[in-house]
Amino acid sequence: DAHKIYLSTSSSKFYDLFVMDLNEDPEPSSERFVGHTGKQGREYLMRAASFDISESTDDSPANHSSSNLRASTSDGILKLNGSDNGAQGKSGFRRGKILSSWSRAFVSIQEEMAEDPITYNTRLMTVVRMDDSVQRDAFGAVMRYLYVGQLDENEKDLMQIAHIAELLEVFDLRMMVANILNNEAFMNQEITKAFHVRRANRVKECLAKGTFSDVVFKPDDGTICAHKPLLISSCDWMAAMFGGPFVESSTKEVSFPNTSKSCMRAVLEYLYTGQFCSSPDLDCMELIVLANRLCLPHLVALTEQYTVSGLFEAAKQAVDIDGDVLLYLEIAQVENTVTTGQH
């Protein structure tokens, strides 16, 4: 089991796969993340040696052509159980597509009724079938990289990992393998750092656009689309709500009364990136209250630090801050009392 939001923000190939219209011929998406261009991919290709694993032991050009280029007589649409693509078949299948002509890494993508690994409820899920050349253990290592940006230098089959990385066009991972094979694994630390910077930017982009979202928060003044996997992994309060027996675990909308949209967005950006993000319409006092409510002490500390810095700057400009200081102290006292009572 995996999550679209993680795979799509670390691999453009997965991004193209998951935004693909399953009712049309598979073509690369024209809406990839900003900055992830073909030029960048070519630069990595020039820097890293090819680890492509041929499916034939014969080195003749004819056999290379037959192993690397796959002809397909299919129109690209999976016709399952004799039913229409948009209708559910007897086995719970819905829309699908053959992918062999689109990528050597994938065989097909289709919608199936399956058990949710978090809630254990049966729901419509996307099932992707990989090519037979993609070995399970090596693919597991690739998936770990796509989630955390790291590769264990003691992995057994580095060549197979590099092969899968090339199929998926994950050039940074292939560079990691090359560094390990060249006894330069220390260079992978910089690749991991760059991975997290890109991931944070892409995740924020998905938050802004609502791409791959699976839940909608409803504060007092609007709605914000979000992603349960990211919330569950970064906030115990959210994990309890979405992963437990609560009604919200299966619902697609969650109301947040007495909360503004700007405040809710600041919380989500923190949960997605680990950073405090200010905005002109953000009420820091409201954010501190919400962060305490969600049991996010680090966000409380970051917001307080930002607020104190702002008050110091205002004081330097001879602005009267006495009223604001008293108000913050009052809120802090109330929140500390509530927190103590909860413990």
DSSP string, 52-68: PPPS-S---HHHHHHHH
pLDDT at 154: 93
Q: Can you tell me whether residue 155 is helix, strand or coil?
A: coil
Residue 72 domain flag: no
pLDDT value of residue 226: 95
pLDDT the model gives residue 309: 81
Q: Are 112 and 94 in contact (CB under 8 A)?
A: yes
248 and 205, same domain (yes or no): no
Tell me, what's the pLDDT at 10? 94
The CA distance from 182 to 294, in Å, is: 46
* pLDDT for 100: 87
CB-based contacts of 45, cutoff 8 Å, min separation 6: 171
- For helices 322-342 and 297-316, angle between their N-to-C axes, nearest 10 degrees: 170
Query: Over its length of 343 residues, how does the chain's per-residue pLDDT go in tens digits?
Result: 789 999 999 999 999 999 998 876 555 544 555 444 444 444 443 334 344 443 333 444 334 333 333 333 333 334 333 334 344 444 444 788 999 899 999 999 998 888 776 667 788 888 899 999 999 999 999 999 999 999 999 998 999 999 999 999 999 999 999 999 999 999 999 999 999 999 999 999 999 999 999 999 999 999 999 999 999 999 999 988 887 666 656 778 999 999 999 999 999 999 999 999 888 889 888 999 899 999 999 999 999 888 888 777 767 666 666 666 666 666 666 555 544 455 4
In which domain, by residue range, is 99 found?
Answer: 1-22+94-209
- Token digits of residue 87: 């209708």
Cβ neighbours of residue 181 under 8 Å, at least 6 residues apart? 158
104 burial via Cβ count (<10 Å: 0-12, 13-18, 19+):
buried
In a domain, 51, yes or no: no
Q: Report the number of distinct structural domains present in the chain.
A: 2
One domain for residues 225 and 253: yes
**Number of Cβ within a 10 Å radius of residue 295:** 15
Q: Residue 317: which CATH number?
A: 3.30.710.10
In whole angstroms, give the CA distance from residue 284 to residue 112. 44
Same domain, 140 and 18: yes
115 and 240 share one domain: no
Asked if residue 31 belongs to a domain, the reply is: no
Q: What are phi and psi of 295, to 5 degrees?
A: 60, 55
Tokens of 169: 């066009």
User: What pLDDT score does 249 carry?
Assistant: 64
**Residues 246, 227 within the same domain:** yes
* Cα of 203 vs its chain's centroid, Å: 6
Beta strands in the chain, from DSSP E residues, in sequence order: 93-98, 106-115, 122-130, 215-218, 224-226, 253-255
Angle 19-39-212 from CA coordinates, rounded to 5°? 20
Domain final position from 158, 184, 209: 209
What separation in angstroms does the CA of 24 have from each of 21, 27, 99, 217, 287?
6, 9, 12, 32, 44
Asked if residue 194 and residue 255 are part of one domain, the reply reads: no
Tell me, yes or no, whether 108 lies in a domain.
yes
Q: Is residue 218 part of a domain?
A: yes
61 part of a folded domain = no
pTM summary value = 0.72
- Same domain, yes or no, for 176 and 292? no
Per-residue pLDDT, 155: 93
pLDDT of residue 304: 85
Residues facing residue 96 across a β-bridge: 110
pLDDT of residue 134: 93
Element (H, E) at 16: helix 12-18
Q: How far apart are CA 55 and CA 137, in angstroms?
A: 19
- 8 A C-beta contact, residue 94 and residue 86: yes
**Judgement on whether residues 117 and 263 belong to the same structural domain of the protein:** no
pLDDT on residue 176:
97
100 and 195 inside one domain: yes
**266 occurs within a structural domain:** yes
Task: Point out the domain boundary residue: 170, 187, 209.
Answer: 209
Of 209, 238, 271, the position where a domain reaches its end is: 209
Q: 96, 81 in Cβ contact below 8 A? A: no
122 part of a folded domain: yes
7 and 151 share one domain? yes
Residues 281 and 304 in one domain: yes
pLDDT recorded at residue 43 = 43
Q: Is the dihedral of CA 118, 196, 19, 101 positive or negative?
A: negative
Do residues 221 and 198 share a domain?
no
Residue 55: what residue type?
A: E
CB 165 within 8 A of CB 44: no
Give CA–CA dist 303/297, Å, rounded: 10
Looking up residue 156, the CATH number of its domain turns out to be 3.30.710
